[in-house]
Structure 1
Amino acid sequence: MPSSGPKVVVTVRSFDDAALALLRDRGCAVEVAALPPGKGDGDLDQDQLCRLLAGACGWIVGHARVTRPLLQSLPDLRIIARRGVGYERVDVQAARDLGRVVAIAAGGNDASVADHAVGLMIAVGRRFRESQDNMVKGDWTILTGGELYRKTVGLVGLGRIGKSVVRRLSGFDVRVLVHTPNPDEAYARDTGVEYVGLPDLLVASDYVSLHAPLTPETRFLIDAAALASMKRGAILINTARGGLVEDAHLLAALRAGHLGGAGLDVFISESDPAYWSVTQGLLAHPAVVATPHAGASTREGFERTNRIAAASVVAVLDGGDPPPGCCVADGRVA
């Protein structure tokens, strides 16, 4: 028999049976949205979301925009749980004002994204894309790449994912420079990382990997001036957010031969279609290895983030709090 408990709507793909069972075992009536082929919930407009979410008390969301008008049209919705860690598409102030809870799946995809970032460093440095493209054309000439071993890696941002990258890099005997607004000296003593200002990091690093949130202060943090200050032949990795890098300036730096390459999982065009031609230029460049915002998309990562998002939903619907580190807005608090 269908549950008569609180309605929970899931608008993400790859929501596994274990996470469904966690919700249903707590009495939730779960509806998993049937998304169009090749589309995610970020492609749904407000009217479509309103129809899907009518009467819902909980929502497990991927990349849909959670706006004030949408929340106002969903008076029963108590908890919005992101199956991920970024929440720039959620109007958290509106959620607070309207008495809602917003949660993220903190810690669920750290390993997936960190693996991805280090993988991109190796793939770009060893010129995997260029080599395979040439082989497909029948040209088996060996291209000379560069090692990650004993290089200097600059990390911009040192949250959970950044620290996971540091752990993975320990086997490469690299020097790690970190730019972060909140240096932890005990962590530096334990790991050997060095805290530096962004200009010093850019000048000294062979690889620059971005792990910062997108805020008004970090938008276009890596612009033409920042790129020009980087070592000639350095490699830029962005698995964080489109908008941290001014992609048009990055494309110009690559075309000029100043950078050795870029590993990109995110693009400005994801949120600003005016940049689509720039994205196409980056995808066409032989020194770019690109993926479609897939850094967190592993089976294991989805299982962890699904479970955390489901746990946040049942906790709030039971009158409790999301797991530690997951709550980013709580409108229940006076």
Structure 2
Amino acid sequence: MSSSSRRVVVTQRFFDAETRAWLEQHGCEVVIADLPPGKGDGDLTPAELEGLLAGAAGWIVGHARVTRDLLTALPRLQVISRRGVGYERVDTDAVRDLGRVACIAAGGNDASVADHVVAMMLALGRRFRESQDRMLGGDWSILMGSDLYRKTVGIVGLGRIGRSVAQRLQGFEAEILVNTPAFDVEDLGGRLTPVGLDDLLARSDYVTLHAPLTAETRFLIDAAALTRMKPTAFLINAARGGLVDDLALLEALSSGAIAGAGLDTFMSESDPGYRPTTEALLALPNVVATPHAAASSREGLDRTNRVAAMNVVAVLDGGSPPAACVVADGRAVAPA
């Protein structure tokens, strides 16, 4: 099979040379998109994406929207492989209807995101941002913080990343509450306590979100949920922006209804109308924020690059990626 029939377009930055070489060793022609400065593939128009992907058989994608119209315009595109694990921007029905395959890089960034979440907990509890801001202003007085040690942590969603966070918290001797639709009480040696969401919010010193974004989980943390949390509690969202009503969160943080928040995802990523809300959140002294970067360690990106590449090659070879990586496979039901 010629390399032109195995053209793989990568619309993500930080695609490592080793993974590129691995793709080439497996007969692929690799094209790395030259993205505009400060822009990701999620900022590209459908026409720009169509131009970049013309003739591609495989696409390693970040945050671009994978729509029915785009897929229809790209008849040679066989596999869409996310360098990440969320896929709410992929029209999975269209993928199936049009006989394509959509994958995620399951397992590639679990450790990186879990480390990031625990780092946010520590930064919030020990008031790192507030302390440094004061020091820059000449005030070296000590702010009283709080430990993560032996605190109660509520984990909403116990997939791969939620489990990785729970494992790390064992070293802090934390009491771990979990709220998830599929929970095995024997997981992690029975050291986790399954509870309802209201109970978790009321008891936790730290609440961290690891649920997928669906119609059912959108605004899972709204104004009513925030009122159930302790005024000394912290909320961490390194999952998806739509899980939290950012307007309600801004009010809760400004009024002291909760102590602080660690935010790696925002509503404004998918809805530009929330940009003023995001900017107001970033300006608060009790917010520690990163630009959807929890998975973006060198090691984490290398791992997710490789998983995404392996998914592409598996499909181009006529096989199937690992089941945990496949979110839609329309090859068996593709129209004749």
Using the size of structure 1 for normalisation, the TM-score is 0.98
Report if aligned partners of 2:177, 2:192 keep a CA contact under 8 Å in 1: yes
Matches within 5 A, 1:169-248: 169-187=169-187, 190-248=189-247
Q: Which amino acid aligns with 1:13?
A: R
Measured after TM superposition, the shift of residue 18 of structure 1 is: 1.2
The answer to whether residue 141 in structure 2 is matched with residue 141 in structure 1 is: yes
Q: Distance in 2 between matches of 1:319 and 1:29?
A: 17
Aligned to 1:77: 77
Aligned to 2:272: 273
Report if aligned partners of 1:308, 1:323 keep a CA contact under 8 Å in 2: no
Report if aligned partners of 2:5, 2:57 keep a CA contact under 8 Å in 1: no
* SS in structure 2 at match of 1:144: coil
The percentage of aligned residue pairs carrying the same residue is 66
Q: Distance in 2 between matches of 1:96 and 1:61?
A: 18
| Equivalenced residues, count | 332
* SS in structure 2 at match of 1:325: helix
Q: Distance in 2 between matches of 1:238 and 1:175?
A: 19
Which whole-Å deviations, capped at 9, do the CAs of 1:252-296 have from their partners, x for residues lacking one?
011111111100000001101111111111101100000000000
Aligned to 1:298: 297
Structure 2 residue runs without a partner (length 5+): none
Measured after TM superposition, the shift of residue 324 of structure 1 is: 3.7
Which whole-Å deviations, capped at 9, do the CAs of 1:85-116 have from their partners, x for residues lacking one?
00001001100000000000000000000000
Which whole-Å deviations, capped at 9, do the CAs of 1:9-33 have from their partners, x for residues lacking one?
0110010111111110111111110
Go from structure 1 to structure 2 and tell me whether the alpha carbon gap of 1:191 and 1:119 turns closer, same or farther (over 3 Å shift): farther
Q: Distance in 2 between matches of 1:106 and 1:249?
A: 32
Q: Distance in 1 between matches of 2:276 and 2:250?
A: 11
Q: Which amino acid aligns with 1:260?
A: A
CA RMSD of aligned residues (A): 1.0
Report if aligned partners of 1:22, 1:311 keep a CA contact under 8 Å in 2: no
Which whole-Å deviations, capped at 9, do the CAs of 1:206-236 have from their partners, x for residues lacking one?
0000000000000000011100011111100
Q: Which amino acid aligns with 1:101?
A: V
Comparing 150-159 with 18-27, which one deviates more in the overlay?
18-27
The answer to whether residue 105 in structure 2 is matched with residue 105 in structure 1 is: yes
Aligned to 1:49: 49
Report if aligned partners of 1:311, 1:323 keep a CA contact under 8 Å in 2: no
Q: Distance in 2 between matches of 1:98 and 1:257?
A: 50
Q: Which amino acid aligns with 2:65?
A: R
Aligned to 1:38: 38
Which whole-Å deviations, capped at 9, do the CAs of 1:13-71 have from their partners, x for residues lacking one?
01011111111011111111011111111111000001110010000001100000000
Structure 1 residue runs without a partner (length 5+): none
Q: Distance in 2 between matches of 1:52 and 1:152?
A: 48
The answer to whether residue 127 in structure 2 is matched with residue 127 in structure 1 is: yes
Q: Distance in 2 between matches of 1:178 and 1:203?
A: 13
Q: Which runs of 4+ in 1 moved over 2 A?
A: 2-5
